[in-house]
Structure 1
Amino acid sequence: MAHEALDAVDELVRRALAERGDRLLVIGLCGAQGSGKSTLADGLRTRLAEDRVPAAILSIDDLYRTRAEREALARAVHPLLRTRGVPGTHDVALGLQVIEALERGEAALLPRFDKASDDRLPEARWERAAAGTRLLLLEGWCVGARPQEASELAAPVNALEREEDADGVWRAFVNRALAGDYQTLFGRLDRLVMLAAPGFEVVRRWRTQQEHGLRKAAAGGMSDAEVAHFIQHYERLTRHMLVEMPGRADLTIALDAARRVTGIGGMRF
């Protein structure tokens, strides 16, 4: 991630920390798949550690419901809910528990999800945020998202919606979930930062690049065709966020197709 992006987020966080005193600061970091959220979060945590500011990172991906829970949702509601990712496939209460513990100044276990096995890791393998943590970075592709109007759900946005959700049951469920407990979770954010892709079209390339790296590191992984199908689950909400979120995020970092920063704006305190 470019230094100018890290510098901008660093400045926002340090000003917010000064305002919060000893209270926990929760920063939301939103961006499409492959946009560089993890790199930015790690860079910020490293900088803060150098100044002895205890910080923790929680990815919304680590809040995915267990495979058994998603299988039950698939049977009860819609088969597409077997696939992790969209609102409704996360354990929002688990994320709120982490925030509440850190707000009390306590140590907190940070859930971890294993994408290779498509299931949550046992608690013995979770990380721990220390007591007295000052900053929690909640990062993820839909962090801070808001639901669409019901009328916007009618027309499918891609082949997956046309062919596998022709009656709109899946996308309506996802939208209702986003309008519910997710807004409670996102309401705990003190600041929202967005890494804004130039458009959804580049997300397929970014996610494919990620998968190529995963395939080099370990056996298995998705083929390019599987990636193309997988990201269609995220397309509707990603397009929606790219339109509506920059106008309300506390900091928007615009990226080009090569993830170079093309603009930084919207910083509000």
Structure 2
Amino acid sequence: MLKSILNKLLAGNPLQDRDWRSLEQDALSDMRRAAAFDGLSVTVESDIQRRAALLQRVYPEFCAFCQATLGNPADFLITLWQVWLPLAQQLADRHQQVGRPFVQGILGGQGTGKTTLGKLLTVILRHLGLNALNWSLDDLYKTFSDRQALQTQDPRLIWRGPPGTHDVALGIETLDRLRQPSDQIISIPRFDKSLHNGAGDRTTPDLVQNIDIILFEGWFVGVQPIDPAAFDPAPPPILTEADRTFARDVNAGLQDYLPLWKRLDSLWVLYLSDYRLSKQWRKQAEHQMKATGKLGMSDPEIEAFVDYFWQALHPTLFMPTARQTAELAIEIQPDHSIGALYRSMDVESPLVRDSK
């Protein structure tokens, strides 16, 4: 029913009153989702009409985006309507409310779709007259030479990624410049993971100006340190005393990132319904890559790689707190679709908080 109404709208056919009522009923069918989008601003009727107009403007470019990245646009029409358009509209409202560039943090592990979400929101926001910047915590990795020296100091840092492998001061400096409403040209650090045989290194920065919204994503963006007692006992693969020491040290290292997180105006958390899906999906991706003749990891190598990051910041220890302290939590299901979407009970909308 919903899909047929949306297709009718996209075909340029006028909607009947019953169609508009159906769209309004759908918007309120999941009250947690409705509350996540500020209870649907102003009135449901005006919000639906605004979203319908945006859908018509966005859809041609959305189709091109899907064909290049996701697949058949028709398979994602409902998600576009129910989730992606409202998220973009909410960001536009946030930007207008704060009166300066708005920094949206996006926390999500591998396979949660955080990078794709950022790119798609950039497309939609452009149709709302807003210039968005996609930026990743990965872009703040220390240089190759600095990480080589770091690994000499701490041989446990065998992979880039855990706390301690980023230039936090550079991130703070960059976000501080981006948050200032100005037409000055700003240098955005970028990282090329293919350099040095996959070890990666800094590459030529991007030069940007007049940015309205910054979408800052990463696998532990916004994550807070937890009580060290949580590691006694700890879930697998944190098994040995050496594993627990590493996990505690990484947890302590999150303290250095707190000043960076303070630059976020809001945080969304994308979380897997079962965190173990990330290992399964990584294996599938590597198998598909090798089937095309490219090099890829073996299954044992993938096991060791993913286990390393679970030993550093285990999802069952850190994600529950992140979901409670983020503004929005978005569940990703085994088929990669979006499940629950809700606002944390402990976090007020910035629109509400800033009005007090």
Q: TM-score range by the shorter chain?
A: 0.7 to 0.9
Q: What are the equivalent positions in structure 2 for 1:90-101 lying under 5 Å apart? A: 90-101=166-177
Offset of residue 218 of structure 1: 7.7
The structure that is helix-richer by fraction is: 2
CA–CA separation in structure 1 for the residues paired with 2:106 and 2:291: 27
**Aligned-residue CA RMSD (Å):** 2.3
**Residue identity matched to 1:140:** G
Q: How many residues in Structure 1 have an aligned counterpart in Structure 2?
A: 261
Report what 2:139 is aligned to.
62
CA–CA separation in structure 2 for the residues paired with 1:210 and 1:89: 25
Equivalent of residue 278 in structure 2, options 203, 215, 237: 203
Of stretches 239-248 and 52-61 in structure 1, the one that deviates more from structure 2 is 239-248
Report what 1:173 is aligned to.
249
Deviations 1:185-211 (A, max 9, x none): 111110111112112211112233344
CA–CA separation in structure 2 for the residues paired with 1:70 and 1:168: 23
Deviations 1:155-190 (A, max 9, x none): 45334x436x6264422321121022x111111110
Report what 1:75 is aligned to.
152
RCO comparison, higher one (Cα < 8 Å, 6+):
1
TM-score of the aligned structures, taking structure 2 as reference length: 0.67
Deviations 1:58-79 (A, max 9, x none): 11112122232222222213x2
Equivalent of residue 25 in structure 1, options 88, 102, 121: 102
Deviations 1:235-254 (A, max 9, x none): 23322232112222111111
Report what 2:163 is aligned to.
87
Q: What fraction of aligned residue pairs are identical, expressed as a percent?
A: 29
Contact 2:177 2:186 in 1 (8 A): yes
Contiguous gaps of at least 5 residues in structure 2: 1-75, 350-356
Deviations 1:199-241 (A, max 9, x none): 2211112233344455567832322221221111222332223
CA–CA separation in structure 2 for the residues paired with 1:241 and 1:70: 25
Report what 1:162 is aligned to.
239
Contact 2:268 2:327 in 1 (8 A): yes
Offset of residue 46 of structure 1: 0.7
TM-score of the aligned structures, taking structure 1 as reference length: 0.87
Contact 1:142 1:238 in 2 (8 A): no
Equivalent of residue 231 in structure 1, options 286, 306, 315: 306
Contiguous gaps of at least 5 residues in structure 1: none
* Pair 1:120 & 2:197 matched: no
**Residue identity matched to 2:249:** F
CA–CA separation in structure 1 for the residues paired with 2:284 and 2:171: 29
User: Does the C-alpha gap of structure 1 residues 203 and 167 become closer, same or farther in structure 2, counting only changes over 3 Å?
Assistant: closer
Contact 1:48 1:54 in 2 (8 A): yes
Contact 1:62 1:120 in 2 (8 A): no
Contact 1:254 1:263 in 2 (8 A): yes
Contact 1:197 1:242 in 2 (8 A): no
CA–CA separation in structure 2 for the residues paired with 1:202 and 1:216: 21
CA–CA separation in structure 2 for the residues paired with 1:30 and 1:215: 29
Equivalent of residue 215 in structure 2, options 137, 150, 167: 137
Offset of residue 40 of structure 1: 0.5
Contact 1:29 1:37 in 2 (8 A): yes
